[in-house]
Chain A
Amino acid sequence: MKTITADNMAASQKQPHKADEGSTRQLRIKLVLGLGLLAIFIILPFLGLSGFTLSLATTILITGIATTSLHMIIRMGHVSLAHGVFMGLGAYAAVLSVVKFGLPFPIAMIFAFLAPAALALVIGPMLLRLSGKYFVLVTFLLGEIIRLVFVNWQSFTGGSNGIFGIPLPYEGLADPVAFYYMTLIAALLCIGFVARMLQSDIGRIIDTIREDSRLAECAGIPVLRMKVTVFVIACGLAGIAGGISGFFIRYIDPTSFSIVQSLNFVVMNIVGGMFQLAGPIVGTLFFVILPEFLRGYVELQRVIFGVCLIVVMAFLPTGIVGLAAYIRHQLSRWFK
């Protein structure tokens, strides 16, 4: 049983004649765009923007870590509906390390990575055996179970009331600009890590596994082991996003990491574009900023999210990034 493959997804899109041609040029374009985006994020605090804009930018960075880590799982052909919950696991691990055990912040962030990664390591070998649709269903149920644990383990997690008044890790981080730069560095490290992985031979193996896992296995690739490795790293990175967000919002509760959050990450990945790292980045920018224009209309936002998903799945399997590439291709033909 095949899960998602690039070929059946992108069947509607015409490939250029020589499949690999221009990949270095494309890489250069992506690098330039990425560096440009990074430059904007670096100078952002100097633009004299409101505190609100800065906090929005921080949210974008945190969300970016979560969506790019989910991207690795989706690239392997599995859509996880538990990623928000893994993020929550990281948030609880980090916050509890500080609040209950008085551990220093850096150690707390290590736990933010380790807790979801450990769970992923235990359940990964079982989950990743399942084909696409079953994986979606199990992660859906798993998310619900973990959420129930958050709600019911009252003495530890504060139940459905969550944990209030989370202290700042350092006095200096009370300044939103300082917190912003800390988040920027974390995002750079995490997203850079994912980008490097996908750019290396590991990325080639991930794509090979998605496109035909049976063939990959017969070429000697230890499919399950690779999948588990990537899954563990991805869930750990989501945990880091969760840890930062806990100290950023200074309040965590089970609903902030529910299925709705997981769904948001999936939406951002898919609408942005599933098969390129640029996809989740574009998706994150799009879906964190766009709703700000619809403030006060939360329900309408979600209706629009939903319609976006339908339209993208029906007509644009490669998402906004794929659409952009298509338009660029058409334009370059036009002006030649």
Chain B
Amino acid sequence: MSDFLTVDGLSRHFGGVKAVNDLSFTVKEGEILGVIGPNGAGKTTSINLVSGVAKPDQGKVVFAGGAVTGKAPHLLARMGLVRTFQATTVFPERSVHENVLRGTYLSRYPGFFAAFFNTPRARKLAAESEALAHEVLEWLGLETVAWDPAGSLPYGYQKTLNMAIALAAKPRLIMLDEPVAGLSAEETDHVRDTILKVRDRGITVAVVDHNMRFISGLCDRVVVINQGSRLAEGTPKEVLSNPAVVEAYLGKSHAAAYGQ
């Protein structure tokens, strides 16, 4: 497997606070990578820096062989790097179907004039994106609620919809920011199955979360972040047995207990 996304020496400071400090890791094509760390470790900032939502002070990001450091999110999305947000971000007033349609912008929008005059090409693209939306809904098991307003769905469904919107942009790499935060065990299992389905379609996945159990049950490899830098990297098993990781997660006393 080749390196699909390379993050090298990424840093971002907020008024003296080093939110992310010299962070490096790679995502290999076709894998599920977990990015994990205790609260406040800089996970969300890292994903913001990689996805272009925030600009790094230093460091570079290389995606699919090209430098993409600091590029705007919509340009990254066009290249195939799409992310979700931590708090469920869906369009709550709109139907689930409309939500997913909005995610198909990249394959749908024919340009201002074609859209305005609804040219044959625009109609063809619209029909295709309709089909794509339908496919994504079916794929993630959302077709039964397709016409419900997104805001009325249970939280777990909203998280899935969140992913569906991102998938509608036809990503090659999808980055998920805390996809199971606030979910029940059952819903968490559902999300895990969905992520596995996504990977089976050949989409590379990077998952950011602090839920160690969820990540270790899902990911091929794990990167542990603490205080803005990489603390450890490896298979879930390797990482879990790393005393530094346990200490960062549970504090010194627990680490000692864990060691016994």
Direct contact of A and B (CB under 8 A): yes
Q: What's the minimum C-beta distance from B166 to chain A, rounded to whole angstroms?
A: 7
* Number of interchain pairs (Cβ within 8 Å): 108
For the A-B complex with A200-B115, A204-B101, A218-B83 known, give 16 more contacts whose Cβ atoms are closer than 8 Å.
Answer: A10-B93, A17-B148, A17-B152, A18-B149, A19-B98, A21-B147, A201-B110, A201-B122, A212-B91, A214-B89, A215-B85, A219-B82, A219-B168, A220-B169, A222-B72, A229-B112
Which chain A positions have C-beta within 8 A of B108? 201
For the complex, what is the distance from the CA of A6 to the CA of B78, rounded to whole Å?
27
For the complex, what is the distance from the CA of A322 to the CA of B14, rounded to whole Å?
43
- Tell me, yes or no, whether A216 is within 8 Å of chain B by CB: yes
- B78 near A208 (CB under 8 angstroms)? no
Which chain A positions have C-beta within 8 A of B126? 201
Given A20-B147, A21-B147, A201-B109, verify A7-B116 contact (CB < 8 Å).
no
For the complex, what is the distance from the CA of A129 to the CA of B26, rounded to whole Å?
32
Q: List 12 A-B contacts (CB under 8 A).
A: A15-B149, A20-B95, A200-B118, A205-B109, A212-B91, A214-B73, A214-B89, A218-B166, A219-B102, A219-B103, A219-B105, A220-B169
Which chain B positions have C-beta within 8 A of A20? 94-95, 97-98, 147
For the complex, what is the distance from the CA of A218 to the CA of B171, rounded to whole Å?
11
Nearest 4 CB-CB pairings of A with B: A220-B77, A220-B106, A19-B95, A19-B149
- A202 near B112 (CB under 8 angstroms)? yes
- B73 near A218 (CB under 8 angstroms)? yes
- B91 near A197 (CB under 8 angstroms)? no
Q: What's the minimum C-beta distance from A15 to chain B, rounded to whole angstroms?
A: 5
- Tell me, yes or no, whether A292 is within 8 Å of chain B by CB: no
The interface on chain B, measured as residues whose beta carbon lies within 8 A of the other chain's beta carbons, has a size of: 44
Q: Which residues of B pack against A, CB within 8 Å?
A: 51, 53, 72-74, 77-78, 82-85, 89-95, 97-98, 101-103, 105-106, 108-110, 112, 115-116, 118, 122, 126, 147-152, 165-166, 168-169
Which chain A positions have C-beta within 8 A of B95? 18-20
Which chain B positions have C-beta within 8 A of A216? 102, 105
For the complex, what is the distance from the CA of A211 to the CA of B51, rounded to whole Å?
20
For the complex, what is the distance from the CA of A20 to the CA of B98, rounded to whole Å?
8
Complex: chain A residue closest to B150, CB-CB? A19
- Tell me, yes or no, whether A223 is within 8 Å of chain B by CB: yes
**Interface residues as binary, A284-314 with B (CB distance below 8 Å gives 1, 0 otherwise):** 0000000000000000000000000000000
Interface hits, A66-111 → B, CB 8 Å? none
Which chain A positions have C-beta within 8 A of B118? 200
Q: What's the minimum C-beta distance from A26 to chain B, rounded to whole angstroms?
A: 14
- Tell me, yes or no, whether A196 is within 8 Å of chain B by CB: yes
Which of A17, A211, A222 is close to B74, meaning CB atoms less than 8 Å apart?
A222
Complex: chain A residue closest to B103, CB-CB? A219
Interface hits, A238-269 → B, CB 8 Å? none
Q: Which of B72, B74, B126 has the most CB of A within 10 A?
A: B74
- B91 near A208 (CB under 8 angstroms)? yes
For the complex, what is the distance from the CA of A216 to the CA of B106, rounded to whole Å?
11
- B53 near A201 (CB under 8 angstroms)? no
- B148 near A7 (CB under 8 angstroms)? no
Q: What's the minimum C-beta distance from B194 to chain A, rounded to whole angstroms?
A: 19
Which chain B positions have C-beta within 8 A of A217? 53, 72-74, 77
**Interface residues as binary, A1-38 with B (CB distance below 8 Å gives 1, 0 otherwise):** 00000110010000101111100000000000000000
For the complex, what is the distance from the CA of A295 to the CA of B89, rounded to whole Å?
50
Interface hits, A159-203 → B, CB 8 Å? 196-197, 200-202
For the complex, what is the distance from the CA of A202 to the CA of B102, rounded to whole Å?
11
- B105 near A205 (CB under 8 angstroms)? yes
Q: What's the minimum C-beta distance from A206 to chain B, rounded to whole angstroms?
A: 11
Which of A7, A17, A201, A219 is close to B92, meaning CB atoms less than 8 Å apart?
A7
- B115 near A201 (CB under 8 angstroms)? yes
Which chain B positions have C-beta within 8 A of A204? 101-102
- A197 near B116 (CB under 8 angstroms)? yes
For the complex, what is the distance from the CA of A18 to the CA of B145, rounded to whole Å?
10
- B74 near A212 (CB under 8 angstroms)? no
For the complex, what is the distance from the CA of A221 to the CA of B165, rounded to whole Å?
13
Which chain A positions have C-beta within 8 A of B112? 202, 229
Which chain A positions have C-beta within 8 A of B89? 212, 214-215
- A7 near B151 (CB under 8 angstroms)? yes
Which chain A positions have C-beta within 8 A of B149? 15, 17-19
Q: What's the minimum C-beta distance from A231 to chain B, rounded to whole angstroms?
A: 13
Given A20-B98, A208-B102, A220-B78, verify A215-B93 contact (CB < 8 Å).
no
Complex: chain A residue closest to B78, CB-CB? A220
Which chain B positions have C-beta within 8 A of A218? 51, 53, 73-74, 77, 82-85, 166, 169
For the complex, what is the distance from the CA of A78 to the CA of B85, rounded to whole Å?
24
- A19 near B148 (CB under 8 angstroms)? yes
